[in-house]
Protein backbone atom coordinates (compact mmCIF):
# COMPACT_ATOMS: atom_id res chain seq x y z
CA UNK A 1 0.00 0.00 0.00
CA UNK A 2 1.07 3.52 -0.71
CA UNK A 3 -0.26 6.62 0.90
CA UNK A 4 0.39 9.34 3.37
CA UNK A 5 0.38 8.46 7.07
CA UNK A 6 0.23 11.47 9.38
CA UNK A 7 0.09 11.79 13.15
CA UNK A 8 0.30 14.76 15.48
CA UNK A 9 -0.45 15.42 19.14
CA UNK A 10 -0.91 18.39 21.42
CA UNK A 11 -1.51 18.96 25.13
CA UNK A 12 -3.43 22.11 26.10
CA UNK A 13 -5.01 22.84 29.49
CA UNK A 14 -4.63 19.17 30.57
CA UNK A 15 -6.39 17.90 27.42
CA UNK A 16 -4.57 15.65 24.96
CA UNK A 17 -5.44 15.86 21.27
CA UNK A 18 -4.17 13.23 18.80
CA UNK A 19 -4.73 13.64 15.06
CA UNK A 20 -4.16 10.73 12.67
CA UNK A 21 -4.55 10.35 8.91
CA UNK A 22 -4.66 6.78 7.53
CA UNK A 23 -4.36 5.98 3.79
CA UNK A 24 -7.15 4.37 1.74
CA UNK A 25 -7.57 0.57 2.11
CA UNK A 26 -5.51 0.57 5.32
CA UNK A 27 -6.18 0.20 9.04
CA UNK A 28 -4.11 1.52 11.92
CA UNK A 29 -3.82 0.93 15.66
CA UNK A 30 -3.67 4.18 17.62
CA UNK A 31 -2.45 4.10 21.23
CA UNK A 32 -3.73 6.87 23.50
CA UNK A 33 -1.44 6.81 26.57
CA UNK A 34 -3.01 7.17 30.02
CA UNK A 35 -6.52 7.43 28.51
CA UNK A 36 -9.73 5.81 29.77
CA UNK A 37 -12.34 4.61 27.26
CA UNK A 38 -15.11 6.69 28.83
CA UNK A 39 -12.99 9.84 28.60
CA UNK A 40 -12.01 9.64 24.91
CA UNK A 41 -13.94 11.26 22.08
CA UNK A 42 -13.31 11.04 18.34
CA UNK A 43 -14.22 14.26 16.53
CA UNK A 44 -16.36 15.16 19.57
CA UNK A 45 -18.29 11.85 19.59
CA UNK A 46 -18.02 9.05 22.17
CA UNK A 47 -15.76 6.26 20.85
CA UNK A 48 -18.52 3.64 20.81
CA UNK A 49 -20.68 5.87 18.60
CA UNK A 50 -17.99 7.20 16.26
CA UNK A 51 -17.86 6.00 12.65
CA UNK A 52 -14.71 4.30 11.41
CA UNK A 53 -13.74 2.84 14.79
CA UNK A 54 -13.15 -0.88 14.27
CA UNK A 55 -11.98 -1.96 17.74
CA UNK A 56 -11.42 -0.40 21.16
CA UNK A 57 -9.39 -1.89 24.01
CA UNK A 58 -8.21 -0.49 27.34
CA UNK A 59 -5.27 -1.71 29.39
CA UNK A 60 -2.89 -0.38 32.03
CA UNK A 61 -1.10 1.79 29.42
CA UNK A 62 -4.21 3.51 28.08
CA UNK A 63 -6.62 2.96 25.20
CA UNK A 64 -5.86 1.35 21.84
CA UNK A 65 -8.17 2.10 18.92
CA UNK A 66 -8.18 0.40 15.53
CA UNK A 67 -9.36 2.75 12.79
CA UNK A 68 -9.97 2.48 9.07
CA UNK A 69 -8.76 4.90 6.44
CA UNK A 70 -9.47 8.60 6.81
CA UNK A 71 -8.82 11.39 9.30
CA UNK A 72 -9.41 11.05 13.03
CA UNK A 73 -9.09 13.51 15.90
CA UNK A 74 -9.08 12.03 19.40
CA UNK A 75 -9.42 14.12 22.53
CA UNK A 76 -9.12 13.10 26.18
Check: CB of residue 36 under 8 Å from CB of residue 1.
no
* pLDDT at 1 exceeding the cut of 70: no
Residue 26, domain member (yes or no): yes
Residue 48, domain member (yes or no): yes
pLDDT per position as a tens digit, 15-69: 999 999 999 999 999 999 999 999 999 999 999 999 999 999 999 999 999 999 9
- This prediction's pTM: 0.90
Q: What pairs with residue 75 in β-bridges?
A: 17, 41
Residue 3: predicted pLDDT: 87
Q: What is the mean pLDDT of residues 10-14?
A: 95
User: Tell me, what DSSP letter sits at residue 75?
Assistant: E
Residue 65, domain member (yes or no): yes
Residue 19, domain member (yes or no): yes
Domain residue limits at 63: 6-70
Residue 1, domain member (yes or no): no
What total of structural domains would you count in the chain?
Answer: 1
* pLDDT at 72 exceeding the cut of 70: yes
Residue 75, domain member (yes or no): no
Amino acid sequence: MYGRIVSAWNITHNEVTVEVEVPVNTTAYITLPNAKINGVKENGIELYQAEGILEITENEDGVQVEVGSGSNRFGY
